[in-house]
Amino acid sequence: MSDALPVISSVVEMFGWLGFIAGTPFSIAAAVSRRRARRYEKTVAVVIPAPDYARVATARWMDSWGDLHETQFADYAIETPVETELTVHYDPRRPSSVRTDTPHEDGHAFRLAGGVLLSVGAVCAVASVALLFVE
């Protein structure tokens, strides 16, 4: 066992550093994307008759200041019935960019990967300290 102890200690330390170094950027990316997702506002858009140049459904919505915006939604076919209401989320800084999916899921994969990697780093750090006292 004493011959394997230095090898095990080195492997545990390597995984600890790997977990901390790789997990930190994922956690930072998760925090940034979650912060950006919080500023989206929810409103209702109404499908309008599509212009001649449109290939997908076109809808209009109003932002919180009462300005009217119009865009085309690639997620919906041009055959979408007129006056269909769509729940949309827009960024007040750029109200012309709108999305139909809910932004509360943004950063979930980054947060999960960062949490797993940081947990592995923390467990390996504790195991590395414990291995110092094992003979």
> Is-above-0.75 flag for pTM?
no
> What would the pLDDT profile of 78-90 be if each residue is shown by its tens digit?
566 777 788 888 8
Phi first, then psi, for residue 106 (nearest 5°) are -60, 135
- Work out the average pLDDT over 125-131: 92
What is the band of 61 on the pLDDT scale with cuts at 50, 70, 90? confident
Residue from 121, 123, 112 nearest 29 by CA: 112
d(CA 105, CA 82): 29
